[in-house]
Amino acid sequence: MRSASGLNFANKGLIFANNQYCLSGIFVLSNFKTKKMEITNNTILITGGSSGIGLQFATQLINLGNTVIITGRNQAKLDEIKKQLPKVHIFKSDVSDPLAIIELFKKVTMQFSTLNILINNAGEMRNLNLLDTSITVENVNREIAINLSGPVWMVQQFLPHLLKQKTAAIVNVTSALAYVPFALSPVYSATKSGLHAYTQGLRIRLKKTSIKVFELLAPLTNTPLGDKFAGDFDSKMMMEPDKVVAIAIKGLMKDKFEILPGMSIMLKLISRIAPKFILKQMGKVAEKSWANEKL
């Protein structure tokens, strides 16, 4: 397998077995709960559910017999999704706004008292040039508010309700960039690393409760989130969102608390075995992009 810069990982001795464990995209953690997660007859809230991974979660979970609620900032897009998925329930809300989260909580729990699964999927990834002095502090903070503060606020707001349920789950969607920062999107990388750490701590804190805590560390995925970086990576490296979510759902059903589809598991392993090497390769991708900008 080749990196984005064309260097063959195998030449560095990083050869991984092409076995079922790797292909499944599921990294096994100890299971603190004895009963496996049921992925049917749940009431599920998905933030950022109007496109990409969030939309695929909504589609596949509805097909499995769940009641699904999605949120998004764009009412027109939500209305369009409602036409495509008549069974989905829509709420306009912005996870970067704590007051909007409080209002969302009131509306959702009033209408759906059986809500028992929260999927924190909403995210924003930008090609951010830190040398651009016109970027304001507020602008830089936007990804932090959406990708990190938002999920933390959502968990804090919905946790008392979830604790009342017989079975419940929190699913935080992070990224393989939690392991290896990407210089073209430094704030995004930092937020996903932060959310990864938060999710691990949350899992430990809730292990004696009815709530299971999962993390989907998404690989490079063919979604609107990554459109800005289409020219920086080989399109063959991208997974389709329906495949990412299919692997995620299998992981939930098997109580695999860290789910790593596609390239994610390899990035995790390389970041442990050769951290300087993989950081250098990711840096080359960014440097090539910056060089092209000057042309």
Whether residue 291 lies inside any domain: the answer is no
3 state DSSP class of 123: coil
User: What are the pLDDT digits (tens) for 153-162?
Assistant: 999 999 999 9
Whether residue 218 lies inside any domain: the answer is yes
Whether residue 217 lies inside any domain: the answer is yes
User: What are the pLDDT digits (tens) for 85-106?
Assistant: 999 999 999 999 999 999 999 9
Whether residue 5 lies inside any domain: the answer is no
Please answer whether residues 126 and 100 qualify as being in contact, where contact means their C-beta atoms are separated by less than 8 angstroms: no
Which residues belong to the active site?
Answer: 188
Please answer whether residues 254 and 29 qualify as being in contact, where contact means their C-beta atoms are separated by less than 8 angstroms: no
Q: Which of 85, 3, 6, 101 is nearest to 49 (CA)?
A: 85
Whether residue 216 lies inside any domain: the answer is yes
- Cα distance between residue 60 and residue 242, in whole Å: 8
Please report the pLDDT score of residue 293 as a whole number. 67
- Cα distance between residue 58 and residue 46, in whole Å: 7
Please answer whether residues 66 and 44 qualify as being in contact, where contact means their C-beta atoms are separated by less than 8 angstroms: yes
Whether residue 200 lies inside any domain: the answer is yes
Whether residue 16 lies inside any domain: the answer is no
Output the 3-class SS for 17-77.
Answer: CCCHHHHHCEECCCCCCCCCCCCCCCEEEECCCCCHHHHHHHHHHHHCCCEEEEEECCHHH
Mean pLDDT of 134-149: 92
CATH of the domain at 94: 3.40.50.720
Split into its structural domains, the chain has a count of: 1
Whether residue 17 lies inside any domain: the answer is no
pTM: 0.85
Task: Provide the residue range defining the domain that includes 200.
Answer: 28-124+138-275
